[in-house]
A = this chain, B = another copy of it.
């Protein structure tokens, strides 16, 4: 009978018994150790196949001190940006035989540290995606999370590579684009308060203001999803701005939908820009002007950085900076003030 082990599953001992060898030999064969006599190896393999034996990964993990698994902590799995990062990460890691364990903090900053620690202990490394926790907290826990890679966040802690998108530059490019179209009253529909990428956008806008003192840039509270944009219609109309920089594509889409309901023409009356260039952006009506971010590439890069750390190839912990690319489509046009004198 096959079921010898306590768990009821077939273990290395069953194969050893069937092949008439020790478990050490079975282990050697399973791991491709060539010091085993070919004849015996064949017998072992045969027994393994017959019993449909597959090594227990938990046992291996304990013995080897590695799990072939990495973790990722995201603030919100419903956000297309994080979904794309996850996909890129999962794809790249899979090519090296690693699996991904996910942890969603549901935008609760206080949960992040716990989730991160827990995930890290089960894995060989961790990707922390746009964490909402404070700099101090991040810096404090970073060492215990090593190997660790950050996305859209940096830290003073040593040995933690960061992949950050230059949202500041991106938003400046968008603002320049609108200014170039004659818009002199812009409004920024901000993102979540704790978001570091929102801070970068604000810094970028500050730089823009300094270069263009004649352009008014008002700030409107917001968020990161459709509803935020949809609910911001009144605030946007009240602001009197003709060029709206939405926090991201989702917000822009919600806003466009709301303006459409009010009979406001885009870009006839108001020009709108998004951020991210999610796949949907080229299918909205009108198609959305935005700043394209190579999101899923970011996930792939995160794995490559993490892999280097896991393999202790950490020769270079240089941070990587991604430049968004301006994607001009139909949602932005000349300022109506320019058209109707």
Contact = CB atoms under 8 A, between A and B. Distances in A.
Interface in A89-118: 90-91, 94, 99-104, 106, 117-118
A22 interface: no
Interface SS of chain A: helix, strand, loop or mixed?
A: helix
A104 B90 contact: yes
Contact of A102 (B99, B106, B253, B284): B99
A67 interface: yes
A274 interface: no
Interface string A47-90: 00000101011110110010101000000011000010011001
A100 B99 contact: no
A28 interface: no
A145 to B, nearest CB: 12
A254 interface: yes
Contacts of A254: 283
A117 B104 CA distance: 25
Interface residues of A, number: 47
A188 interface: no
Nearest to A105: B94
Contact of A121 (B54, B86, B282): B54
A283 B226 contact: yes
Nearest to A106: B91
Interface string A252-290: 011011001000000000000000000110111101000
Contacts of A121: 54, 56-57
Given A59-B62, A253-B280, A99 B77 contact: no
A33 interface: no
B62 A91 contact: no
A332 to B, nearest CB: 16
A119 interface: yes
Contact of A52 (B122, B144, B253): B144
Contacts of A283: 226, 230, 253-254, 256-257
Interface in A3-41: 7
B69 A122 contact: yes
Contacts of A226: 279-280, 283
A185 to B, nearest CB: 25
A91 B104 contact: yes
A90 B103 CA distance: 8
Contact of A285 (B52, B119, B285): B285
Given A69-B122, A117-B54, A253-B283, A102 B104 contact: no
Contact of A104 (B94, B144, B256): B94
A207 B86 CA distance: 40
A101 B69 contact: yes
A77 B86 contact: yes
Nearest to A280: B280
A62 B62 contact: yes
6 contacts: A54-B121, A58-B61, A77-B90, A77-B91, A253-B280, A285-B285
Given A7-B65, A257-B285, A284-B284, 8 more contacts: A77-B83, A94-B104, A99-B122, A101-B101, A101-B102, A253-B280, A254-B283, A260-B285
Q: Ordered nearest first, which 5 A-B pairs have the shortest CB separation? A: A285-B285, A257-B283, A77-B87, A57-B122, A58-B61
